[in-house]
Amino acid sequence: MADEIADPSRRTFLIGMCGAAALAGLGPVLLADDAAAATGIQRKKNGQVVVTVAKVPALRKANGRVMLGNVKGTPVAIVRTGAKTYEALNLRCTHQGVTVGADADGWLCPAHGSQFALDGELERGPALSNLATVRSRWNSRRGTLTVG
């Protein structure tokens, strides 16, 4: 019987990504695949994720980001793009659908090297288009962003 390579678990992958982010000097990047465990992030039964941005340290300043894990089957991150503006990004590379990871200035596809700016804009291919956005709704009264 041939040796089999076990697929890493989601938890192993997330721990590795946290370590890689720390080594890359990315500052506060929160990986919240189990969103219910993260302060300020709540996963609803319908699959949506509600983020109370004031409670998420990574979103306290412009260019902060938080990776939510899967939202309704799509890997998603939130990026603070301005004083009170946020963008939810689909983290599937537009080249072949591999999940991109955080790098110092934005997002990097580990499969073929496509690079995207923090806001998802394509900087270098082989991808041909920006990262897609994910439907999100800002509630200014509550200070929450609902994703999905």
Residue 134 lies in a domain: yes
Q: Is the pLDDT of residue 56 over 70?
A: yes
Query: Can you tell me the mean pLDDT for 87-91?
Result: 96
- Its domain, for residue 88, covers 10-147
- Which of 8-22, 28-42, 71-85 reaches the highest mean pLDDT? 71-85
Angstrom CA distances, 5 to 8, 16, 99, 111, stand at 9, 17, 20, 18
Residue 85 lies in a domain: yes
Q: Sorting pLDDT into bands at 50, 70 and 90, what band is 94?
A: very high
CB 133, CB 116: distance < 8 Å:
no
Dist CA 24 CA 102 (whole Å): 9
Residue 2 lies in a domain: no
Residue 78 lies in a domain: yes
Task: State the CATH number of the domain containing residue 75.
Answer: 2.102.10.10
Residue 130 lies in a domain: yes
Residue 14 has what pLDDT? 47
Residue 92 lies in a domain: yes
Q: Which two tokens stand for residue 27?
A: 């500052």
Higher pLDDT among residues 20 and 79, named by residue: 79
Residue 5 lies in a domain: no
Residue 113 lies in a domain: yes
Domains of the chain: total: 1
Phi, psi of 43 (to 5 degrees): -95, 125
